[in-house]
Structure 1
Amino acid sequence: MPSALPEGDPAPADGSLPPAALAELGRRPFEVYVHVPFCRVRCGYCDFNTYTAEELGPGVTRASYAEQAVAEVRLARRVLGDVDRPVETVFLGGGTPTLLPPDDLGRIVRAIDDELGLAPGAEVTTEANPDSVDLGYLERLREAGFTRVSFGMQSAVPHVLAVLDRTHDPERVPGVVEAARAAGFEQISLDLIYGTPGESAADWETTLDAALACAPDHVSAYSLIVEDGTALARRVRRGELPMPDDDDLADKYLQADERFAAAGLGWYEVSNWARDDAARCRHNIGYWTGADWWGIGPGAHSHVGGVRWWNVKHPKAYAARLGEGVSPAQAREVLDAETRRVERVLLEVRLRDGLPVTALDAPGRAELEALVADELVEDRADRLVLTRRGRLLADGVVHRLLA
């Protein structure tokens, strides 16, 4: 598969963590991510660690995946020790988690609650393709404790979906959103992609119209990135499709931001908008603000107390390790204080709540006045918050802060 894992240092076979990392538990929210690596069809732009049935090979099935995920949850309990560390959020991503039966997804969430404990009011999210669920499926997920669902809408325009190799009917989206409401989900999110080759401004406007007509609580809108090793990258390299144009991407971002704001959706991260603070994705906020989390599944990444590790990539290797009673972790790295500070700047700069100026070193603080003069950040004494123009040039802002 196109995704590559970093090198890192060897991870212990028992998954154990340094005492210094364990000592930090409880200082930040604790989260669980569950990677479900299965897809019905591989999308041409996707470089995530996912597999169709044909790519899995012999001896690997979806039917046994919940059992493997539960085994890793139990491993997490052993590694983290006996102190209660309630899980604030759970997020099932992929891949397409909803290719598994709802009872399997519920079994994984129950194991997290049984072994680690869900905090009161925990946010429990699953991603879903519009063609992978119906009312009955969503009702069973809600009964299993899921509170939030994120639908991969991407576009409302058939020819744009075709370039992305998305197979769902865009006309299904309003129906599944309504079904999720009827099932009692507290929050409903839509994921969109803009900048697909051949997508006009009118096409993007059609997608925005369709998304807002669903009255979602939350929207994520990401510019298309042509990742090396994907089918889309090969088509671009052969000249079949053009590379996304930076000016077009900027125009479509502004188009989206204006429409979302007018509909009452405020930005809280560069690519995410929510109806109010309660509708923000708490799980993703945890990533952006340095929370601890355990990543379950093939290729999943974890972070606890400044130690980051990642699991073996292929489902067959993942299942084999758990079957042998050893950790599926392939490698890890221990982050030093400066690396953690730099990563904090990289991530928190993207948030509407901003980055405390105290997180910057002396050269970074010295750059603030120039960034304000360039209308890239707001003129504040205590926090660095991007302006709208700054959001378009966020990578450049970070570069100047860390140069």
Structure 2
Amino acid sequence: MPSTLPEGEPVPADGSLPPAALDELTSRAFGAYVHVPYCTTRCGYCDFNTYTASELDGDQGEHYLDSVRAEIELAAAALGGRTPAIDTVFVGGGTPTLLPPAELGRTLADLRAAFGFAAGVEVTTECNPETVDERSLAALVEAGFTRLSLGMQSAREHVLAVLDRHHTPGRAEAVARWARRTGFEHVSLDLIYGAPGETADDWQASLDAVLATGVDHVSAYSLIVEPGTRLHRRVSRGEVAVADDDTLAERYEQAERTLTAAGLGWYEVSNWSLTSADRCRHNEGYWRSANWWGFGPGAHSHVGGTRWWNVKHPAAYGSRLAEKNSPAYARELLSAQDRRVEDIMLRVRTTDGLPLGVLTDRGRDAAADALGRGLLEPGPYATGTAVLTLPGRLLADAVVRDLVD
């Protein structure tokens, strides 16, 4: 089951925010995240806030987006019309494409009516390949979606099986091609490496299959075995073995070689795109500490240094909104130091890099040491920016720890 929410201070029933947070609304981009917490089955590695029909007494979410609409109305009132027009929308999950395209489109219309959409707004939905066909993809484009993020994970059937992924090998690649034909401006395929039993040849087959589709964006994540998941229980019992750090590093280097040779460049440690225009702008907002409101159970939000998170269960979420109350479980007010540390942690992982001027004297000393060890690029460093080399990306967490000390 999904992990436990963190504690924090209470959130006002009307969702109102501190004046200092509202003052920052116009200085940064504003995005919207919509969480759809439904899945047909639970993948063995997943600890996201998702639920199957059996876990919700058969509820398939028929009226769920009515609750989301109520939170949109609450957000509009709490923000008092002070937000810039929405620059990015990301509908994630869960499996958003279990809901009809017209219903997802209605939610986009609700967001547009409440906040307005900026010119060139990026509108993304995640997608399980088995839940769409060419007709539904065309309907999503008609509803206003511009970007499709497909969960492929692997091209190898035995790797999908150990991950408890229930889609047919080859289906994700087919959907990616359909998405292009039906009018999506951007199509991304997501991969996971380091699964039990995956070989270098298996990983190469997945990379090659992705590139054969001609997508403009690829995400590749190292498998993390989260406590409480079915995969964690299997690993704990010794049924399967996870890849060691050396193997994970080899898989990452393999991805970098293959994707770079095909013309995709990294712009965040786990993300590659054909051009800067093909990057996921919504995720870039997270890495740049933009403002966003997360709608749905368990969704997290951030505005002007105030972060909050919603109750996790769909029934509790709907009940609070039905009573005209905020669905937020708790919040925290980030200090200037908290925000500086987070800025370092996130921006150093991107190809745009981190301005050295935000570091303390000790942090700049650590950056100089990282440069000497080949972990930072010399060119950007000379002009005042810390950008990770390939070895630096493999040790990104350690570099970050040194920079923030």
In structure 1, what is the equivalent of residue 169 of structure 2? 170
TM-score normalized by the length of structure 2: 0.98
In structure 1, what is the equivalent of residue 226 of structure 2? 227
The Cα of 1:320 is off from its aligned counterpart by: 0.3
The Cα of 1:301 is off from its aligned counterpart by: 0.2
**Structure 1 Cα separation of the partners of residues 367 and 83 of structure 2:** 42
The Cα of 1:84 is off from its aligned counterpart by: 4.9
Is 1:132 aligned to 2:131, yes or no?
Answer: yes
2:162 is aligned with what amino acid? Answer: V
In structure 2, what is the equivalent of residue 256 of structure 1? 255
The Cα of 1:74 is off from its aligned counterpart by: 1.0
In structure 2, what is the equivalent of residue 52 of structure 1? 52
User: Contact between 1:37 and 1:96, CA under 8 Å: does it hold in 2?
Assistant: yes
2:50 is aligned with what amino acid? Answer: T
In structure 1, what is the equivalent of residue 100 of structure 2? 101
Consecutive unaligned residues in structure 2, runs of 5 or more:
none
**Structure 1 Cα separation of the partners of residues 391 and 276 of structure 2:** 23
The Cα of 1:83 is off from its aligned counterpart by: 3.1
In structure 2, what is the equivalent of residue 266 of structure 1? 265
In structure 1, what is the equivalent of residue 387 of structure 2? 385
More displaced 10-residue stretch of structure 1: 126-135 or 378-387:
378-387
Is 1:71 aligned to 2:70, yes or no?
Answer: yes
User: Contact between 2:376 and 2:386, CA under 8 Å: does it hold in 1?
Assistant: yes
SS at match of 2:67: helix
**How does 1:324-403 map onto structure 2 within 5 Å?**
324-379=323-378, 380-381=381-382, 382-403=384-405
User: Contact between 2:30 and 2:83, CA under 8 Å: does it hold in 1?
Assistant: no
2:26 is aligned with what amino acid? Answer: G
SS at match of 2:25: coil
2:232 is aligned with what amino acid? Answer: A
User: Contact between 2:129 and 2:152, CA under 8 Å: does it hold in 1?
Assistant: yes
User: Contact between 1:2 and 1:228, CA under 8 Å: does it hold in 2?
Assistant: no
Count of residues in correspondence between the two structures:
402
Q: Tell me which stretches of 4 or more aligned residues in structure 1 moved more than 4 Å.
A: none
The Cα of 1:245 is off from its aligned counterpart by: 1.1
User: Contact between 1:40 and 1:52, CA under 8 Å: does it hold in 2?
Assistant: yes
**Structure 2 Cα separation of the partners of residues 155 and 305 of structure 1:** 38
2:96 is aligned with what amino acid? Answer: P
SS at match of 1:5: coil
SS at match of 1:273: strand
In structure 2, what is the equivalent of residue 26 of structure 1? 26
**Structure 2 Cα separation of the partners of residues 83 and 241 of structure 1:** 52
Q: CA RMSD in A?
A: 0.9
2:35 is aligned with what amino acid? Answer: H
User: Contact between 2:25 and 2:82, CA under 8 Å: does it hold in 1?
Assistant: no
TM-score normalized by the length of structure 1: 0.98
In structure 2, what is the equivalent of residue 197 of structure 1? 196
**Structure 1 Cα separation of the partners of residues 335 and 368 of structure 2:** 29
Residue identity (%): 60
Is 1:208 aligned to 2:210, yes or no?
Answer: no
User: Contact between 1:84 and 1:117, CA under 8 Å: does it hold in 2?
Assistant: no
User: Contact between 1:30 and 1:88, CA under 8 Å: does it hold in 2?
Assistant: yes
SS at match of 2:62: helix
**Structure 2 Cα separation of the partners of residues 355 and 209 of structure 1:** 32
SS at match of 2:388: coil
The Cα of 1:244 is off from its aligned counterpart by: 2.4
**Structure 2 Cα separation of the partners of residues 173 and 235 of structure 1:** 27
2:255 is aligned with what amino acid? Answer: A
SS at match of 1:17: coil
